[in-house]
Structure 1
């Protein structure tokens, strides 16, 4: 028989209480007690990527679990800040709701949850433009420096940060109008790598390769492709094909380490022909 205690669902308050217990000086968890903002940051990034992985695999049971892990990271930061009397979870939620009300005037014209939505829906382009205008106003309020790049986090993965920097610059008109000049710029950057390589200048090669990668991100943006998603897709494709190459090599009694590139390339092409 299932008791009422067993069937009761846990809520947000339970999670907050659990976090307090974990951090309690007496009776808490030694590992949780010694953590700081910086020490749990790598876990936060890892959990975010695990959420992305579950979504891309459409594994929704796993997604539920990974979202819980990501939520726990927020609860952890909130508890650390509450202990230092900086802010708590209620402050985080209050700030978030206020910001979203402010950024969605087409849904909440009075800036309150009780306000009625606009009867005539605005075009999506106009909504996006207003969203960027509101974010620009918020940035101006936060900083005396009026650069549109001010709050692009330095801690973002380089690929994501390049994309965000480019979008932010494009918001004030610093951008090409179409994708072909971006493609041409990419080819120019590749030529500059060749020049640096010919000179044997390792530092210049690194610099020019960075420009190539930055141009690839720019091309992806103009083609309306998420560069990080595209690269993860390429990683997954490579992994599938390489694993198949390993299987084919084993089945053919081929020593991969002792084989020529031509032999391995034949196995690779076979894996491709199999649709992997």
Structure 2
């Protein structure tokens, strides 16, 4: 299966190399968030409860990478819908490649893309804002982003496979993505001193909240029990469930 997934990943990589302009635009998107959006939110966070004035950039930098993972991975299913429409999946399913490899090969490409975007964010933040970035913190945060990319891309591709229609897929993703994003505290951390109690409790029920806290903890090097152990456990659980769901759906639908 791993060999098949690698072959599919290489084919996706070759397709990307034929569109360098698109790849360049996708990788440069983090610069827009870092330079235009982050300064605004840093100013707001410095006046918010539960945040020290010097910690705002350290909070926002990993948050931007998680948001990019969320936005990029959630709509990865469009690629599968395109493959369905052009008959690519019809040709792929007659090959001996495992169905799980068809899923994982596409996911691997998305993981590489989001890793490049995240490294771009870290590099620019280090150069422009002189953040105390460490190698360990960077690698751990990239690992969190990779697992989240695996999770969300698997879910997106699976939803697209079930929807089989761009309008239905767009409606399903957009409907679920907005509350998950707002309640995750990615763009603006939801703290007891800032949010109403009911909103704070609701946010803690969102798995992405724990993942966002985990990314911030690994990036800043604050390895407390709740963000690291609990957040890591939540991330591993949703990753396993999403890959299982995606593989099971592929085996059932692509036969």
TM, length-normalised to structure 2 = 0.28
> Based on CA coordinates, which of the two structures has the bigger radius of gyration?
1
Identify which of structures 1 and 2 has the higher relative contact order when contacts are C-alpha pairs closer than 8 Å and 6+ apart. 2
TM, length-normalised to structure 1 = 0.27
